[in-house]
Amino acid sequence: MAQETGALSAEESRLIWIDCEMTGLDINNDELCEVSVVPTDFNMNVLDEGIDLVIKPSQAAIDHMNDFVRHMHTSSGLVSEWDNGLTLEEAEKQIVEYVKKFLPTQGNGKAHLAGNSIHSDKKFLDKYMPQLMSNLHYRIIDVSTLKELSRRWYPAVYENKPAKHGGHRALADIIESIDELRYYRQMMFVKDLPTEQEAQSGAQYIESTSLLRTYEKEGNALTDSSTPEKADY
């Protein structure tokens, strides 16, 4: 059974919340046009009010926008700000300088990326802001995972989640994502935490009822208990 080596300290557990606006979702043709960053600790306490940078996309990316995206960014006022937007290079430089102020000084020195459906943002950040991403942990905190779990396991929580009014502007969207995770933590996570013995018993039960045991009974073991425990990086 893989286990964490220990609880993370507040210094090691910082989250870098990011929301991006793009000219579309086609990684080959679309570009970043707004990026907002807000740092928090692991209790979602805001460490700084954050930054919001508008990026001027290329004419090719603008021409590639479909009608839905064009209307969305026009209605939000983002299009009218593009002429005075930063270059991609300058935006990344400013974001990296900002993020480095909040990176943990303990552990591996990397903070976790957090957001809503953050995999979509991460795809563009990996391509267009690799220097930024080199400062962030490969693990991510995706609020949309809890959204989908609450929808299936705790429908009352899902149906009463905080309303969102961000209007597809990055800074408002990311602050609402922080608030959404605060809500899920309050509503879904038990307040009476298990003791270490109870946690061990729970893990043993999960292992004993795992699909892995079915494969073993059929003579098709997928794991070998004699091998060293897999590290949980």
List active site positions: 138
Would you put residue 4 in left (φ > 0), alpha (ψ -120 to 50) or beta? beta
Report which of 175, 182, 183 is spatially closest to residue 38, judged by C-alpha positions: 175
Q: Which residues pair with 32 in a beta bridge?
A: 22
Report which of 125, 93, 112, 142 is spatially closest to residue 40, judged by C-alpha positions: 112
- Lay out the sheet containing 136-142: strands in order across: 51-54, 32-40, 15-22, 111-115, 136-142
Report which of 136, 141, 146 is spatially closest to residue 111, judged by C-alpha positions: 136
Count of CB atoms situated within 10 Å of the CB of 156: 8
* CA of residue 187 relative to chain centroid, distance: 20
Count of CB atoms situated within 10 Å of the CB of 92: 22
List b or e across 102-113, with b for residues whose CB sees 16 or more CB atoms inside 10 angstroms: bbbeeeeebbbb
Count of CB atoms situated within 10 Å of the CB of 143: 22
